[in-house]
Amino acid sequence: MLASADLNGDGLLDLVAASAVFDGPTYLTVLLGTAGGGYTSHDVQTVDATPSAMQLLDLDDDGDLDLVTVRPEADSIRVYQQVEMGIFRASGAVPTLRFPEVLASGDLDSDGRMDLVVRRYWGPRLAVHLVAPGGGLGPAREFPIEPFEPFNPREMAITDVTGDGRADLVLELSISIDV
């Protein structure tokens, strides 16, 4: 499981990788991109389980990217604050819909802050968490997915597909949600 963004502002893509060792711990590793196209390991920590999805977005409104992870068993979003460049530390969990498995981020309320969408893999529900002014991941607001196709693809993205200046959520089919 990977998430990528430029964490240290050098114009090169950096990675956060979650990987499990068989019968061993799960590692969360920050890899900084190098000018030669490679990556150097910057920080490693162990976490309790491999997430099914990760996203990087600024949750505390301080201008740097923070990390969120989900796994279906948890019914919550795990939050990791970027405390210094490329260093993430666990800073709590926010309840979300049951069996969260897929994440996407985008600015859903057009306030300039990226927000978070959480989706179940197999159920016709998704939850929106808005990032508040000054920071903080807001409570889950659940929406039905209609029309629903069982076992939607895991990919989910937020972009303005209808060209009306409002963010749309893109699944296998395109739907719009009002938040």
Distance CA 166, CA 106 (A): 10
Task: Name residues contacting Ca ion, limited to 114-133 (CB under 5 A).
Answer: 115
14/168 with CB nearer Ca ion: 14
Cis geometry, peptide bond prior to residue 95 (ω within 30 degrees of 0): no
Taking CB under 5 A as the binding criterion, the range among 37-45, 52-60, 90-98, 151-159 that sits at the site for Ca ion is: 52-60
Question: Across-strand partners of 78?
Answer: 69, 93
Q: How far apart are the first and last CA of the chain?
A: 29
Contact call for residue 6 and Ca ion (CB under 5 A): yes
Nearest in space to 91 (alpha carbons), one of 59, 64, 118: 59
Taking CB under 5 A as the binding criterion, the range among 27-35, 44-52, 96-104, 165-173 that sits at the site for Ca ion is: 27-35
Contact call for residue 111 and Ca ion (CB under 5 A): yes
Contact call for residue 160 and Ca ion (CB under 5 A): no
Four-CA torsion 145, 150, 156, 157, nearest 10 degrees: -40
7 and 14 in contact (C-beta within 8 Å)? yes
Task: Name residues contacting Ca ion, limited to 80-109 (CB under 5 A).
Answer: 107, 109
29/50 with CB nearer Ca ion: 29
Q: Which residue has the tokens 């159920």?
A: 123
Q: How far is the CB of 12 from Ca ion (least distance, A)?
A: 4
Binding site for Ca ion (CB under 5 A): 6, 8, 10, 12, 14, 33, 58, 60, 62, 64, 66, 107, 109, 111, 113, 115
